[in-house]
Amino acid sequence: MNLLDRKVVTIDALDHQGRGIAHIDNFVIFVFNALVGEQVEIEIAKIKKNIVEAKVIKILKASPERIGSVCPYFKECGGCDLLHMSYQNQLFYKENKVKEIMRKFARLENVVESIVPNDNVYGYRNKVTFQVEEKVGFYGKRSHKIIEIDKCFLIPDIMNEYLSILKRAMNFSFVNQIMMRQSEYEQKMMIVFDVTKEFSNSQVPLNELSNVSVLIKREHNYEVLLGDDFLLEKVGDYIFKISPESFFQVNTKQMEKLYQIVLDHSGLSKGEKVLDLYCGTGTIGIYLSKKANDILGIEMNESAIEDAFWNKKQNCIHNINFMCGDTGSVLKEATFQPDLIVVDPPRAGLDELAISEIKRIHAPKVIYVSCDPVTLARDINRLEQDYEVMTIIPVDMFSNTYHVECVCILKYR
Ligand SMILES: C[S@@+](CC[C@H](N)C(=O)[O-])C[C@H]1O[C@@H](n2cnc3c(N)ncnc32)[C@H](O)[C@@H]1O
């Protein structure tokens, strides 16, 4: 097999990143923009040992699940993976992917519940980061080449409008990235320009931007050009402060459903103690605060911890506290004995120290919120001797991409 060869293949399955899988002789071929059961003519784009990547040249037999992509950049842009797939099929794919990963990597059957759908499959993101290098856009599929875009379908219209204002009014010399975040509650946006030291602030067309905060980020320092250096967002009954460096779920509406699932499965009935690990701005702990007696949140990012203390005060929550530091290291020194541990780590999952500390503490229940089912399965294995999986609820937070969030409920054996 050679680069640029053309072949006709049938797609047998989708991999965990939404690529079609086909086989020719001993080669496994990963095909972008193809669906299960489709017959497609492909062109070989990359060969590494017996793993091959290819792109579709012509669809010879289309799947009934194929829909015309709304986005002209879909084939090149690395932002979306499933825009060509009906939403029902996306849900089926994600739910089955979690089942398959649990079966394969954690030997678990019949624990995965029906996926919770997203009400808005377009325009749902409250945050976007544009890459800038002469062009403004997103990285291409599996590449660092920037695909220039004028409109993204996953972000609200207002962000696309600001993008076009900036593209018209600026030349983007010395800009690395542009981050936009929107608060629905405040009906306001924050724009952060990540720039090199040569950047001149006067380039930013402030008089064309309304209802925004504008910040300039040089290395790790922020300078406010307009408005506040934070946004406020409402989730459930609570208001949360979000600073530019703090993590905040990108889908505000689904975030409320996610936290409600955690609350519903917490089994809390006052009087209990909760550890909220990887707590960010304290959102999950604060959400649980009306049902618990005492909550301790642990988070490494200082800016998020400052926001968490602000959130505690502003929402008049008296039974929560926060500590700043690495989860495992803080737990090693802490004497807090919880009835429930909630963990919500980054994609990499829990490290060895965090796992051994969770085992040592042996709370009756652990709720693991995960944005990567593969690392979730790995951590379920590491906790297996002590904890049994009761149920896993997938939640679609990131429609049109292959990503899926999961809430996993574990009970001490
Ligand atoms: C997926 S976010 C979850 C945040 C929060 N639970 C929420 O729902 O908004 C993961 C958080 O873990 C924090 N983090 C990453 N590594 C950490 C570590 N070793 N110890 C403590 N926090 C960490 C990140 O700064 C981030 O805020």
> What CATH topology corresponds to 127-231?
OB fold (Dihydrolipoamide Acetyltransferase, E2P) (2.40.50)
CA–CA distances in Å: residue 248 to residues 80, 279, 281, 345:
20, 10, 8, 13
What pTM does this model have? 0.96
> What CATH topology corresponds to 1-66?
OB fold (Dihydrolipoamide Acetyltransferase, E2P) (2.40.50)
Count how many Cα atoms sit within 13 Å of the Cα of residue 296 in the half-sphere of its side chain: 17
- Confidence grade of residue 178 (pLDDT, cut at 50, 70, 90): very high
Give the tens place of pLDDT for each residue, 2-33: 999 999 999 999 999 999 999 998 899 999 99
Measured in Å, residue 371 CA sits from the centre of ligand 1 at 12
Residue 270 has pLDDT above 90, yes or no: no
Residue 245 has pLDDT above 90, yes or no: yes
Measured in Å, residue 329 CA sits from the centre of ligand 1 at 14
Residue 238 has pLDDT above 90, yes or no: yes
CA–CA dist 96, 260 (Å, integer): 23
- pLDDT over 70, % of the chain: 100
Give the tens place of pLDDT for each residue, 364-404: 999 999 999 999 999 999 999 999 999 999 999 999 999 99
Measured in Å, residue 279 CA sits from the centre of ligand 1 at 6
- Confidence grade of residue 171 (pLDDT, cut at 50, 70, 90): confident
Measured in Å, residue 278 CA sits from the centre of ligand 1 at 4
| Pairing verdict, β 221-226 and 387-395 | unpaired
Q: Which of 127, 245, 246, 247 has most ligand 1 atoms within 8 Å of CB, for mutation?
A: 247
Instruction: Dump the DSSP string for 263-314.
Output: HHHH---SS-EEEEES-TTTHHHHHHGGG-SEEEEEES-HHHHHHHHHHHHH
In DSSP terms, which residues pair with 167 in a beta bridge? Answer: none
Give the tens place of pLDDT for each residue, 47-62: 988 889 999 999 999 9
Give me the residue spans of the domains in the chain.
1-66, 91-119+251-412, 127-231
Measured in Å, residue 311 CA sits from the centre of ligand 1 at 16
With a Cβ cut-off of 6 Å, ligand 1 is lined by 247-249, 278-280, 283-284, 298-301, 304, 326-327, 344-346
Supply the residue whose CA is at minimum distance from atom 6 of ligand 1: 279
Residue 102 in 3-state DSSP?
helix
Closest CA to 113 of 98, 100, 128, 133: 98
Domains 1-66 and 127-231 share a fold: yes
CA–CA dist 191, 208 (Å, integer): 13
Assign domain 91-119+251-412 to its CATH superfamily.
Vaccinia Virus protein VP39 (3.40.50.150)
At residue 284, the pLDDT reads: 98
Q: Which of 249, 295, 300, 326 has most ligand 1 atoms within 8 Å of CB, for mutation?
A: 300
Q: Which of 278, 343, 404 has most ligand 1 atoms within 8 Å of CB, for mutation?
A: 278
Runs of H (alpha helix) within 198-282: 252-266
Annotation marks residue 77 as catalytic:
no
Q: Which residue of the set 71, 371, 406, 408 is catalytic? A: 371
Residue 134 has pLDDT above 90, yes or no: no
At residue 224, the pLDDT reads: 98
Instruction: State the average pLDDT over residues 203-207.
Output: 95
CA–CA dist 387, 362 (Å, integer): 9
At residue 142, the pLDDT reads: 85
- Confidence grade of residue 125 (pLDDT, cut at 50, 70, 90): very high
> Which atom belonging to ligand 1 lies closest to the Cα atom of 281?
9
CA–CA distances in Å: residue 412 to residues 260, 278, 303, 363:
22, 21, 33, 7
Share in percent of the chain as helix, strand, coil (round to 5): 25, 35, 40
Give the tens place of pLDDT for each residue, 319-328: 999 999 999 9
Residue 69 has pLDDT above 90, yes or no: no
